[in-house]
Amino acid sequence: MTGGAGFIGSHTVDRLMETGHRVVVLDNFSTGKRANLARWVDHPMLHIAVCDVGHGIFAALAPIVAKYGPVERIIHLAAQVSVVHSVANPLVDMQVNYGGTLHVLEYARASGVQKVVLASSAAVYGDVEELPVSEDAPKRPVSPYGIDKYASELALDYYSAVHGVATTTLRFFNVYGPRQDPSSPYSGVISIFTDRARAGRPLLIFGDGTQTRDFVYVGDVVRAIIAAAGDGNSRVAANVGTGAETSVLELARTIVDLCGGTSKIEHAESRAGEILKSLARVDRLREQLGVVAETKLVDGLRLTLG
Q: Which residues bind ligand NAD (CB under 6 A)?
A: 2-3, 5-9, 27-32, 51-54, 77-81, 96, 100, 119, 121, 172, 174-175, 188
Query: Shortest approach of ligand NAD to residue 85 CB, angstroms?
Result: 11
Between 30 and 267, whose beta carbon lies closer to ligand NAD? Answer: 30
Query: Shortest approach of ligand NAD to residue 66 CB, angstroms?
Result: 21
Contact by Cβ (8 Å): 135, 164: no
- Cα-Cα-Cα-Cα torsion 130, 134, 136, 137, nearest 10 degrees, comes to 20
Active-site choice (98, 107, 145, 176): 145
Query: Shortest approach of ligand NAD to residue 72 CB, angstroms?
Result: 20
Query: Shortest approach of ligand NAD to residue 87 CB, angstroms?
Result: 15
Between 8 and 155, whose beta carbon lies closer to ligand NAD? Answer: 8
**Bridge partners, residue 73, by sequence:** 115
Between 155 and 208, whose beta carbon lies closer to ligand NAD? Answer: 155
96 burial (CB, 10 Å; 0-12 / 13-18 / 19+) is: buried
Widest Cα–Cα separation across the chain = 58
DSSP state of 95: I
Query: Shortest approach of ligand NAD to residue 264 CB, angstroms?
Result: 26
CB-based contacts of 227, cutoff 8 Å, min separation 6: 233, 289, 290, 291
Between 77 and 166, whose beta carbon lies closer to ligand NAD? Answer: 77
Query: Shortest approach of ligand NAD to residue 80 CB, angstroms?
Result: 6
Q: Has 145 been annotated as catalytic?
A: yes
Between 3 and 209, whose beta carbon lies closer to ligand NAD? Answer: 3
Q: Return d(Cα 104, Cα 114) in angstroms, integer.
A: 12
Between 29 and 58, whose beta carbon lies closer to ligand NAD? Answer: 29
Q: Report the b/e string of 137-167 with b at 16+ CB within 10 A.
A: bebebebbbbbbbbbbbebbeebbeeeebbb
DSSP 155-215: HHHHHHHHH---EEEEEE-EEE-TT--TTSTT--HHHHHHHHHHTTPPEEEESSS--EE-E
Specify the 3-state DSSP secondary structure of 115: strand
Catalytic positions: 145
